[in-house]
Structure 1
């Protein structure tokens, strides 16, 4: 059972209860995953890069601050960020917080700096998988001192260059382990060939995002089965336009199911590699009417309040970040659910499987942990404190439950600032439409 990380004295957020069906349009800020990739590619570019409509959140601010510490200019320009590449230098100290993208992407950039870069983060960050990327950097010619831990904290002793070449890793813990090596590879003397050996890599849409953004920046990338090759060469300046964060749409679109109402997310792209795009099929499988048109993506529930919808049997290996909200929906559904392919979530911001079992069951639910997922049988729920373990997705799951369950008190709602700082305001406005 995970241990709640927030002091008991921290104020709780009473999750708003819906009294009728919601009817709302919710505009979402930019994708965290795209923003942090754009920042890294901008720092390594041969000319300035404008990141258009980036997400401003704890995770992206941590990335911007880390790159600034290494000598990159990252300046606000209206609602955009202007990234001005410069010589990467140390000594520097970098705080990665609890951001997987920062802790996996930044070390390869630090290896290109001239000087020492000390990297550390939140206490939970020291438990997240980092060994494969540390070992890979050493094999590619970088010097990393981690005291033999294979985890944070560690120091990268950069020489201003990395040889690069072929490397084999086990990336079954996180696709970010591959992306971190690929993003900096154009600046390696020999580029890189990353080969994965082990259980399947999770969240491969994020790898597709890395490959697409590298190519858009001018990099030569080849892919095969469990192998990725990036050629050495310059990265282009210019504009990088950030899409809305589709994974952060999950709870808003889910509210249409819970209340039997309608929610539209404008700006949903016709062609995207974001894993959140899978919500279209997943929510339809639960009984929603899902349509994509000029106004965006619209999800309609049953048309009755409260909403009536079915459980879900799905392999979420590719889209594990959607699990907490889908599990909350499953706890309110009319039939049982089985969510599989997500054993890797035990190594996320918290052990998400154990956390969901603990918190939903504490409200009267019936959730059982499987070797690679969750089995959820709907039962009447009651109010209580929902611990969030410094995990933004747990806050979002609690909010969904609170739509239908009076008295849900959400611990440490501020942790949602990791990816969606104004979540509680957006959520309150949504519920007001009900």
Structure 2
């Protein structure tokens, strides 16, 4: 059995940074993720005037319930969707200030409209400086009174998360009625973390009521990233190995740990304890039809190992993967076809047939999850290469080294 330590969760780290910045007092984050996305988030906080001290395994953030210390700031959000959606929302709560946000070309293409329209509904003076509904944007902050709004979070649950976290910073709180919601487990992460910072959100069906009053600082431990763990779990299932990931057990916040249930349905053996999850397999995988709406970040992981299953793998209800760092559904389909695999697609589904994949150069589209997913396929199809292997820096800068070390250790029976 191979035990592997997975870096901290990107989703949890980003939420913790927002909550810490908004809290009354100094928060310490334990084992936060070090990556391009989280570095971009902390850099953005610094530009807004928040004090952030980073040590190797802990970060200290001095909260400012009144909002950014800077009265005027320009923030570049890089490729980070959480940075690009959370930081403008945080800045909007300031009593006064002018804040300009921009992002990479990749992030500029990704949608913001449901969030920015919701902020406008709440009275925020916000304008898009280029294409409507996309970065760049400028906020002329004057505080947020609060109130009620209706939100379509069918493209991204991050819109809802940003508004939920904004709620305690408003004068009257928020009441959010959600018409569509994708990746619902990520919202559960948000609600649990807000409780950890002293705020209890009331949920009745798809209506969320958030009280005013602010957050209190705390010491918060970041759990390992379940999406990143999916590559190692899939590798064990595909190659007949066994891997244990500590820190992701029955109490884990992240819904993407449910990817192991997909592997279980494919005949892998999965054991989850209070503080770890283990996957082992004899290397034989069954096909299946699975709805991955709530765990869509792991869709590419499943797509990459699907050709090695004994029957077709059909992944459904993943339309939102088309508006991620790239059109992930189409990127997976194109790369699998390049490997000689028969693939069918629709607006929100992909069906992958068994075959004998041949090595090819993977078109990554600058998407870290495409690289890491097809690295797993490379364990059964040696000779794969990538047009941009370095894009893993977004969430796991040392992925290639760590994955190679994992393969070597598991091959040696460690």
Give the TM-score, by structure 1 length: 0.91
1:380 aligns with 2:362: no
Is the counterpart of residue 390 in structure 1 residue 366 in structure 2?
A: yes
Q: 1:105 offset after TM fit, Å? A: 1.1
- In the aligned structure 1, how far is the partner of 2:356 from the partner of 2:71? 56
Alpha-carbon distance between aligned partners in 2 of 1:63 and 1:390, rounded to the nearest angstrom: 19
Q: Deviations over 1:245-283 (max 9, x none)?
A: 111111111111211111111222321230222023111
Distance 1:78 1:351, change over 3 A: closer
Pair 1:162-2:138 in alignment: no
Q: Is the 8 A contact 1:386 1:409 kept in 2?
A: yes
Give how far 1:59 is off.
Answer: 1.0
2:99 to 117, 124, 133: 117
What's the CA shift string for 1:263-312, capped at 9, x where partnerless? 1112223212302220231110011011123772111111xxxx211123
- Can you list the C-alpha shifts for 1:109-134, whole angstroms capped at 9, x where unaligned? 11123311111111121221201111
Aligned to 2:174: 192
Partner residue in 2 for 1:9: none
1:78 shift after superposition: 4.2
Separation in 1, partners of 2:110, 2:14: 19
Q: In the aligned structure 1, how far is the partner of 2:331 from the partner of 2:47?
A: 35
- 1:150 corresponds to which of 111, 133, 139: 133
1:312–1:330 Cα contact (<8 Å) kept: no
CA deviation vs aligned residue, 1:364-394 (integer Å, no higher than 9, x gap): 1111112211001011111111011111110
Aligned to 1:176: 158
Q: Look up the match of 1:3.
A: none
2:78 partner SS: coil
Would you say 1:291 and 2:267 are equivalent positions? no
- Give me the whole-angstrom Cα distance separating, in 1, the residues matched to 2:161 and 2:253: 14
Residue in 2 aligned with 1:201? 181
| 1:346-385 alignment, distance < 5 Å | 346-385=322-361
- Structure 2 counterpart of 1:10: none
Corresponding residue for residue 335 of structure 1? 311
Larger RCO of the pair (alpha carbons < 8 Å, separation 6+): 1
- Which string of whole-angstrom CA distances, capped at 9 and with x for unpartnered residues, describes residues 229-248 of structure 1? 11100211121111111111
CA drift of 1:30 comes to 0.8
Paired residues of 2:249 and 2:272 also in contact (CA < 8 A):
no
The separation in 2 between residues aligned to 1:241 and 1:312, in whole angstroms, is: 36
Structure 1 segments, 4+ long, off by >6 Å, are none
The yes-or-no answer on 1:140 pairing with 2:122 is yes
**Are the counterparts in 2 of residues 26 and 266 from structure 1 also a CA contact under 8 Å?**
yes
Rounded to whole Å, the distance in 1 between the matches of 2:316 and 2:79 is 25
In structure 2, how many angstroms separate the alpha carbons of the residues matched to 1:391 and 1:177? Answer: 21
SS at match of 1:49: strand
Name structure 2 gaps, 5 residues minimum.
Answer: none
- Encode CA deviations 1:193-215: one digit per residue, 9 max, x unaligned: 11122xx3111000011111111
CA distance in 1, matches of 2:273, 2:200: 34
Matched, 1:225 2:225: no
Contact 1:41–1:235 (Cα < 8 Å) also in 2 = yes
Indicate conservation of the 8 Å contact 1:192/1:230, yes or no: yes
User: What TM-score does the superposition give when structure 2 sets the normalisation length?
Assistant: 0.95
* Aligned counterparts of 1:294 and 1:110: Cα–Cα separation in 2: 38
